Amino acid sequence: MASVIRPVAFVIAVLAFLFANPVIDLGLTEYVPPGLRNLPRTLKVLGVFRRATSTAIVDPAEFVVIKDTVHCEDLHYHEASNLLFTACEGTEATRFSRGSLHVIDPETMKAQKLELVGFDGPFVTHGIDVISDPVRSAGEAVYIFAINHLPHPDVHGQTHSQLEIFYHEIRSGSARHIRSVWDPAITTPNDVVALSPTSVLVTNDHYHATGRWREFEDVSGHKWTGTVHLQLARLDGAASAQDGVMASVALAPMHNNNGIGHGRSRDEVLVVECVSGVLNIGHVEEKTGKATIKIDHSLFYDSTIDNPSFFRDPYSNSTFDGSAYLAPGLTRAVDIHASVTHDPATRPPIPVMIWRTKRVPTSSADKPEWKTELLFEDDGTRLDSVAAAVQVAIDPAQEDGRRRAWLFATGFVSRNVVAIKVDI
């Protein structure tokens, strides 16, 4: 979830503008928080002067609301099984208590809640990842990794967040809990990418877990967060969440390191700096049980950016490839604090923007060119907040040869996952 901003932060921002302005040069730039050295960009990303608008959908058949998908914060497309996986909070009443994993079939547009086997504890979901079991045929079974913001056993109002690993036989209707994973390096986890069933990247999105300092951190742009790598010595038979876990820093320092996703190749990862509006494309280097991320390219967007995804166009040919990076964000992150702390029954809707970036073919592999477009916008009436967006290609034979896809999107307080038919 993108975070918050308050008047106090604005005062700081204005002071920073004075101190960091190249025209009013007081020589104090080095004391100014990094995110405030370019205040016009910060204000643009937060949407301070932006109005919400909605993309027109002419044919009502091109907009589908998927039932039984309340407050699903993360969403993944598993290509081998042609299914989407999402982590939801079940009903509006149960958010922050018992979450669930759902599978969505893009052919029928129906969601099925998975029965969780061998898992009774609280489940407060956030980011997830889904990878094929490497020892089975593709599309037979998957590992599901899910951040779980457990209530702290000793301190009321605080969380003791960990990672849960489940195993799911495709179309079985259930997911078996394999183990929980915790290490002191997991502090404010947000999202997860599994490189293999025993090698996992987890982002920590804040240094300050709560309160004013958390808000300051969002706005100031301080790089106080990062991604950790967890190497697991075993999956089955772990004696505790900490059993056989080796943690190391994979990427730091980052600002508000939020979503993380798989890229276009096995070693490519997408790492987001949410309130900075930056999607970093990097590659993983793994050796002796440690993985580090090297950033190769940074894409800058005009809004905050949450969980990124890469769409591989399965129908690409020598002249057309619709493959693209998707980056969902908030139109007015500046309002988010007021929105999420408001009474849920009467709070204003949270408008959204979903961006799509294609890599333009060039002669130089090191210096790619990028083409970014605003794929979908909504004022919050059809899609109330967004945290994740993925595309699923439609067979051109079903579309008179047109190259189209379903864009699935969901948010941390959205009532449903929605699907919009788009050109690719």
Ligand X SMILES: *[C@@H]1O[C@H](CO)[C@@H](O)[C@H](O)[C@H]1NC(C)=O
Residues 193-252 that bind ligand X (CB under 6 A): none
CB 217 within 8 A of CB 224: yes
- 31 vs 320, which CB is nearer to ligand X? 320
Q: Return the closest-CA partner of residue 67 out of 111, 106, 22, 25.
A: 111
The span of 131-139, 190-198, 291-299, 396-404 binding ligand X (CB under 6 A) equals: 396-404
Q: Return the closest-CA partner of residue 174 out of 234, 119, 136.
A: 119
Q: H/E element holding 284?
A: strand 278-287
CB of 321 to ligand X, least distance (A): 9
Q: CA angle at residue 157 from 152 to 158, to 5 degrees?
A: 45
Q: Which amino acid is at 192?
A: V
The span of 75-83, 108-116, 250-258, 395-403 binding ligand X (CB under 6 A) equals: 395-403
- Structure letter (DSSP) for residue 233: S
**CB count in 10 Å sphere of residue 169:** 14
List 110, 396, 399, 423, residue binding ligand X (CB under 6 A):
396
Measured between alpha carbons, how far is 75 from 126 in angstroms, rounded to an integer?
10
Distance from chain centroid for Cα 112: 22
398 binds ligand X, rule: CB under 6 A: no
Residues 307-366 that bind ligand X (CB under 6 A): 317-320
Widest CA span of the chain, in angstroms?
65
Length of the chain: 424
CB of 371 to ligand X, least distance (A): 17
CB of 315 to ligand X, least distance (A): 7
CB of 400 to ligand X, least distance (A): 10
CB 101 within 8 A of CB 69: no
- 319 vs 364, which CB is nearer to ligand X? 319
- 159 vs 316, which CB is nearer to ligand X? 316
- 318 vs 364, which CB is nearer to ligand X? 318
CB of 405 to ligand X, least distance (A): 12
- 149 vs 358, which CB is nearer to ligand X? 358
CB of 320 to ligand X, least distance (A): 4
CB of 327 to ligand X, least distance (A): 24
CB of 219 to ligand X, least distance (A): 44
- 137 vs 319, which CB is nearer to ligand X? 319
403 binds ligand X, rule: CB under 6 A: yes
- 45 vs 393, which CB is nearer to ligand X? 393
- 96 vs 320, which CB is nearer to ligand X? 320
Measured between alpha carbons, how far is 144 from 2 in angstroms, rounded to an integer?
24
197: preceding bond cis by omega (within 30 degrees): no
CB of 369 to ligand X, least distance (A): 21
Measured between alpha carbons, how far is 288 from 245 in angstroms, rounded to an integer?
14
The SS3 of residue 9 is helix
- Structure letter (DSSP) for residue 98: B
Measured between alpha carbons, how far is 5 from 221 in angstroms, rounded to an integer?
12
Size of site (CB under 6 A) for ligand X: 7
- 317 vs 346, which CB is nearer to ligand X? 317
Site string for ligand X, 273-312 (x = CB under 6 A): ----------------------------------------
CB of 317 to ligand X, least distance (A): 4
Distance from chain centroid for Cα 93: 23
137 binds ligand X, rule: CB under 6 A: no
**Structure-block tokens of residue 260:** 């993380």
- 289 vs 396, which CB is nearer to ligand X? 396
- Which residues make beta-bridge pairs with 195? none
Residues that bind ligand X (CB under 6 A): 317-320, 396, 401, 403
